[in-house]
Amino acid sequence: MRVAFISDIHANFPALCNALCAERHRVDRVVCAGDIVGHGPHRTEVVRLLKEQHIPAMRGNVDRKLLKALETRKKLQKRLKKKPQAPAAWAALALGDAEREGLGSLPTELRFAAEGIDILVVHGRPLAVTDYIFPSITAPALLAKLGEPRPCTSILSGAIMHGV
């Protein structure tokens, strides 16, 4: 079974469409490792497309941050007037109710099996969604970041795939 992992879409609908068109012909399954929304202009379209295509997805740190910002709508209105904070506030306020509920219902990790291998997908690392794992990490440092062994054969991180 071939599985494609996508991550850090950040509301870029054209890029998501291109990635899905390219991958659909070569893979059996597509999984999204978070950061679906962000400062890009197509939050609603991206959330809807992932749902329509039945692509398993999880919440990333940016998704979580946006949802948290929506808890204080009055503050968001004020942030629209402050230049450094305006893009994040605009992104949060422009998200529709259905998409906001969809994002809020996403898990913080995904687990599935592929050809007898149990796979855990996280955004960041299993212990903290806001911590990054860089491609240059050493094996001992990676083990320290992963925490206690979990009943899982493979762990995939959105941060590694994104190449942060």
Give all domains of the chain, ordered by start, each with its CATH number. Answer: 3-162 (3.60.21.10)
Does the model's pTM come out above 0.85? Answer: no
Can you give the pLDDT of all 164 residues of the chain as single tens digits?
889 999 999 999 999 999 998 767 788 899 999 999 988 889 999 999 999 999 999 999 989 888 888 877 777 777 777 777 777 777 778 888 898 899 999 999 999 998 888 898 988 877 777 777 788 989 888 888 877 665 555 555 554 444 43
Long-range contacts of 149-155 (CB under 8 A, 24+ apart): 150/120, 150/126, 151/118, 152/111, 152/118, 152/119, 152/120, 153/117, 153/118, 153/119, 154/117, 154/118, 154/119, 154/120, 155/119, 155/120, 155/121, 155/122, 155/126
The pLDDT of residue 164 is 37
